[in-house]
Amino acid sequence: MRPEILFSIFTPVTGLDGIGPRLAKLVGKAAGPRIVDLFWHLPSGLIDRTLLPDLAAVEPGRIGTVTVTVDEHRKGHNKRQPYRVACHDDAGLLTLVFFHAREDYLRKLLPVGEKRVVSGKFERYGDDLQMVHPDHVVPLDEADDLHLIEPVYPLTEGLTPKVMRKAIVGALERAPELPEWQDSAYLQKNGWPVWLEALEAAHAPESRLDLERSALPRERLAFDELLANQLALALVRASQKKAKGRPLHGDGRLRAKVAQALPFTMTLSQVAAVDEILADMAGDERMLRLLQGDVGSGKTLVALMAMLATVEDGKQAVLLAPTELLARQHHASLQVMAAPAGIEITLLTGRDKGKARAEKLAALANGRSALAVGTHALIQDDVAFRDLAMAVIDEQHRFGVHQRLALTSKSKGVHVLVMTATPIPRTLQMTTYGDLDVSQLLEKPAGRMPVETRAMPLDRLDDLMKAVGRAIGQGDRVYWLCPLVEDSEDSDLAAAEERHKSLQILYGDRVGLIHGRMKGPERDEVMERFVAGVIDILVATTVIEVGVDVPEATIMVIEHAERFGLSQLHQLRGRVGRSDRASSCLLLYAQPLGETAKARINIMRKSDDGFVIAEEDLRLRGAGELLGTKQSGFPQFRIADVIEQTELLAAARDDTRLILSRDPELSSERGKALRVLLYLFERDAAVRLLRSG
């Protein structure tokens, strides 16, 4: 239950004065639909209306505030001409200009002979100094109420700065005084204000320095957010560890058969990862381990060894994949590897219907099927296991927490191995997995050739299309990547359908096409023809990004490479270079190239280390864009910047360890305040894991 002290701020912005349903929609689009969302919508700039001594000090083009005496009102000869009000001070003259003016209103606002404080942008019109539509006009006795420094907020179309400021001011009036959750000595050491003061100060910058992340009020709020993140992750982790695991030992008989039949020797990293995983599974606590390996580093084999250890113990294991294509790919490669051990693997996807599905469900429920691979279909309520003891989750950031829990709740003490071919920078790892145990596969399997990466401008497209013809004549297979499915009027991106047509003119039926809008079976059928060599050139959108394995494919062409992120380019390049044949990746770009795009392409040419590339991508693009984190399971931060504020993140992690070592149930005074923090940043799920109280 959310603490009562927070009730009033988790209400819609329509509760604020002057924010009706229409404006609430716009405010919601810019900042969020609730009052608390406005707290985290911090100023991105400021308007300095500094009070100037006199008109002689005015610089045309800048905003400022002066005190003037009103001399006369001059009405235009027709409606299209502006209404002018002439004013002066001891040092000069100023004309205030209004279009579509109401004379009665302006005479009341600016009475002749009286002094007024006016604020706005000064401009020169010929020899005259003027101000068009002043932002503020007030009598002398109200001058103190004029905000000389005004925060500027990010807006959305149709939302005016005035409305946004009004909404924020209204929201801040509702901000409660909350119990202090930070350690008082740590607050003092950093010079941080208390929470409410920090919030109010962050919304009232007095100079450009106050807009920096290092400004004390902003830093305090960022640390609060990072602490909530780390604390929530640690609580989830602690609760998962509390749930007893079931020690699995396995006698090694199935693993030995598979290892003997392999046409290669496992890499040192693979052997180490298997040892780490088996050690976890043999313990009393549930395993929760992340297996990180670059494209083609052999994660599937490591996962199979762990799954076989489970079967050796008479239990069941499953592998959950984010797409049907990937599930089928895993199933095919696992079947081949597991065959020497005499193990059949069940494949369950959304495509299974009727009698065939019923037979598969029965085999899982009675234990006849020990290993299963599947998509979200494995999570459905009617899927039951006789004794599920291990789950492997591939590309975890593409699943929600509830989906992972739905799978592991199908049995008691299920060990979990999370796999990703997307190298996750240490920073994102900390904010997404906390201190999850990590195994890394650092080498490529033996016999793999490095991929030569070249960049070339799009105007060499015709030459490239001819070169591709020569390559397929020598038995090579080619991926041709395009970023869009069809041409749109406002985009100059090469469309997959257009490229397919132009390549077909040259090479006929040897060219195939797959994209995200095709139905699964149709897409798989084209992919199978490419694997079989019926098709030599596969034109595709990024649906082939992760997991697809065609060792014969040796050329990857990526059109408009400047439009892709580094990690995505690296993933796509990883589709080739999966055999002992020389492979190449050609990055086609449109000119002129921006600085970031140029940096990306240079990094791709210099490095094939996924971890180096991921760190660079994070630096170039920021956490919000990396790996499409806006759509994925990576956390979104409203105030903190995990790239710029890694030291704060590390401090939040250390503080979390200290807090939970002293007060694991958060039952002390500070612990209760920390519960409020978790609710404030909507980490409610973590609080529910604690015993109520």
- What are the phi and psi torsion angles at 523 (to 5°)? -65, -45
Does 195 fall in a domain?
Answer: no
Q: Which of 587, 604, 628 finishes a domain?
A: 628
Supply angle C-alpha 576, 577, 581, rounded to 5: 120
Cα–Cα distance measured from residue 684 to residue 691, given in angstroms and rounded to the nearest whole number: 13
pLDDT of residue 396: 64
CATH code (residue 104): 2.40.50.140
Residue 578 banded pLDDT, cuts 50, 70, 90:
confident
Q: Mean pLDDT throughout 627-649?
A: 69
Rounded mean pLDDT of 149-174?
94
Percent of the chain residues past pLDDT 70, beyond the cut: 91
Mean pLDDT score of the chain? 88
Same domain, yes or no: 286 and 352:
yes
Taking the C-alpha atoms of residue 24 and residue 16, their distance in angstroms, rounded to an integer, is 9
Task: Indicate whether 326 and 367 sit together in one domain.
Answer: yes
Please tell me whether residues 264 and 121 are part of one structural domain.
Answer: no
647 in any annotated domain: no
Looking at the predicted structure, is the pLDDT value of residue 489 above 70?
Answer: no
Per-residue pLDDT tens for 124-133? Answer: 999 899 999 9
What does the pLDDT read at residue 373? 96
Q: What are 345-354's pLDDT values in tens digits?
A: 999 998 889 9
Compute CA distances 567 → 395, 431, 564, 579, 620, whole Å: 14, 18, 8, 22, 11
Give 552's pLDDT tier (boundaries 50, 70, 90): confident
Q: What's the pLDDT band for 202 if we cut at 50, 70, 90?
A: very high
The domain boundary residue, chosen from 119, 146, 173 = 146
- pLDDT band at 632; cut points 50, 70, 90: very low
Predicted confidence (pLDDT) at residue 636 exceeds the cutoff of 90: no
Please indicate, yes or no, if residue 507 is contained in any of the structural domains: yes
Are residues 409 and 507 both part of a single domain? no
- pLDDT for 364-384, tens place per residue? 999 999 999 999 899 888 999
Give the whole-angstrom CA distance, residue 518 versus residue 540: 11
Q: What is the pLDDT of residues 420-464, one digit of tens each?
A: 877 677 777 777 766 678 898 887 776 677 889 999 999 999 999
Note the pLDDT of residue 421. Answer: 76
> Do residues 30 and 156 touch, judged by C-beta distance below 8 A?
yes
Position 403 in a domain: yes
The residue type found at 494 is: A
Sheet holding 371-374, edge to edge: 345-348, 371-374, 316-320, 388-394, 415-420, 288-293, 437-441
427 and 462 housed in the same domain: no
Whether residue 590 sits in one domain with residue 520: yes
Question: Residue 515 falls within a domain, yes or no?
Answer: yes
pLDDT value of position 693: 29
Are the beta carbons of 290 and 299 closer than 8 angstroms? no
Q: How do residues 289-337 score in pLDDT, each as one tens digit?
A: 989 887 778 899 999 999 999 999 999 999 999 888 788 889 988 999 9
pLDDT at 624: 44
**Cα–Cα distance for residue pair 586/454, rounded to 1 Å:** 5
Q: Which amino acid is at 64?
A: G
Tell me the percentage of the chain whose pLDDT exceeds 90: 59
Q: Is the pLDDT of residue 493 over 50?
A: no
Q: Does 491 have pLDDT greater than 70?
A: no
Say if residue 467 is in the same domain as residue 608.
Answer: yes
Which DSSP letter does residue 177 get?
P
Lowest-pLDDT range of 162-166, 197-201, 636-640: 636-640
pLDDT digits (tens, 9 = 90+) for 46-83: 998 888 889 999 999 999 999 999 999 999 888 889 99
Whether 492 shows a pLDDT value over 80: the answer reads no
Residue 560 lies in a domain: yes
Asked if residue 515 and residue 569 are part of one domain, the reply reads yes
> pTM for this structure?
0.69
- pLDDT given for residue 157 in this prediction: 92
Question: Nearest-5° angle of CA 464, CA 468, CA 471?
Answer: 140
- 618 vs 275, which has greater pLDDT? 275
DSSP for 113-156 reads T-EEEEEEEEEEETTEEEEES-SEEEEGGGGGGS-SEEEE----
Of 434-448, 520-534, 578-592, give the lowest mean pLDDT range: 434-448
Domain CATH number, residue 380? 3.40.50.300
Domain boundary among 385, 416, 441: 441
Copy the structure tokens of residue 270.
Answer: 């693979």
User: In the predicted model, is pLDDT for residue 626 greater than 50?
Assistant: no
What per-residue confidence (pLDDT) applies to 631?
Answer: 36
Same structural domain, 430 and 523: no
**Could you give the angle at the alpha carbon of 358 between the alpha carbons of 357 and 361, nearest 5°?**
85
Asked if the structure places residue 343 within a domain, the reply is yes
Number of structural domains found in the chain: 3
Residues 586 and 621 in one domain: yes
pLDDT at 435: 61
| More confident site: 623 or 559 | 559
424 and 300 in one domain? Answer: yes
Q: How confident is the model at residue 181 (pLDDT cuts 50, 70, 90)?
A: very high
- Shared domain for 395 and 535, answered yes or no, is no
Q: What pLDDT is stored for residue 277 in this prediction?
A: 97
Domain boundaries, position 591: 451-628
Q: Is residue 93 part of a domain?
A: yes
Residue 629 has pLDDT above 70, yes or no: no
